[in-house]
Structure 1
Amino acid sequence: MPSSTVHLLRHGEVYNPAGVLYGRLPEYHLSERGRRMAECVAEHFAQQTHDGARIVLLKASPLTRAQETAAPTAAALGLEVETEPRIIEAENHFEGLKVNPAELARPRHWRYLVNPLRPSWGEPYEAQAARVLAAVVDAARTAVDRGGDGAQAVLVAHQLPIWAARLKAEGRALWHDPRKRECTLASLTSLTVDTATGAVVSLRYTEPAAAFLPGAATTPGA
């Protein structure tokens, strides 16, 4: 059966001196380190294509940081960045705030903290996983249509939706400790999809921009 590998690329580091949870807020740009991460990933994909990979599709979340992360890869591979709304960051009640114990103690937030399994403060994990995996399957099928069996796609997205999709693909519980997500800045969660059935048949995680992680922001995404 035809298959395709879809690389879920988390965006690079964001310039966020206030340390807020920026979520879906507009105009949060990459930091200088984040731009270097994006360029490093572009070099990684360029080397992959030199070695025979056929990357024929590049999509990004509509948010600024994802579009900016995609740009160097688009230039390196000669691809257009297509916008994919299904891989946008998760909705979150705490968007725009510093999430710390003092903020969480405010009574106005209490009703959003009653169910961490869903979670009650934002978009359900199940909904995030479903929309991202649907986008992955569609990207895999489009890649095969454009480039034949084995052609690949890149989707530039955000930590939490990528992690929820990975947990779902691996058959694991979606509730988790945000500090333990294996999804660093500019990392790749690569899913190989059987395009006939839409099933994820294998998954691989890599960090092509690992050299830029020391000293980078470590606050989990939404």
Structure 2
Amino acid sequence: MYQSLRSYLPQEGRSYLKPEKAGPLEEEMRHLKKLGQAARIEFTAIVEMLAPKIAPLEKTRISHWASQAQVLRPHFWCYFKSPEDAADDVAMAVRMYGTAEQFGISVEVSFIERKKSDQTLRKQARVLDLPIANPLYYRVQEKDEMYCLEGTEANRQLLRQKLAAQEIRKVLVKWDLPVTDNLSWEELTDQLATGFERLKPYYVQAKG
């Protein structure tokens, strides 16, 4: 199970060249492309199995296996939005994390950076209006650094203070699901759907 995803994870951050322009690296680039495409197909199948379980949220485009700068990115993601949501609204998403040895899929309340407006960050900050408890946690951007904080009341108050002082740019709320070989796709997507339910109050709060 999950062999295509696992095989592609070690390629994180590698540069990709079109095979016809790669010279002596042509075969290696073809292999990387094949790995990336297979992993994306597997992630897409998981997302499509999940989608009916979290309706009326609708899936958007799944991330590509390489960035526009042609850097390999095996941590695929997909955002989900309600039909009435605007392009710059806060959304929910699934996102891969980890390494080939230990990886999983997280559920988060966040937004699409390239579609944000002046209001998006203000809306996202509303996730701090609600209490939180483990296993939910925060993913914080402070200056150019991203870091995680446990989902505790003390950390919620700390982040509210930092936000008021404009020390942090954004705060996401997340929940992680480790992936193991004995976890079927049905079980995986059922548990991801549970993660969406846990995070739904923060999504609703952020939308206002």
Q: TM-score, normalised by structure 1?
A: 0.26
Higher relative contact order structure (alpha carbons within 8 Å, sequence separation ≥ 6): 1
Select the structure that is richer in helix: 2
Q: TM-score, normalised by structure 2?
A: 0.27
Q: Which has the larger radius of gyration?
A: 2
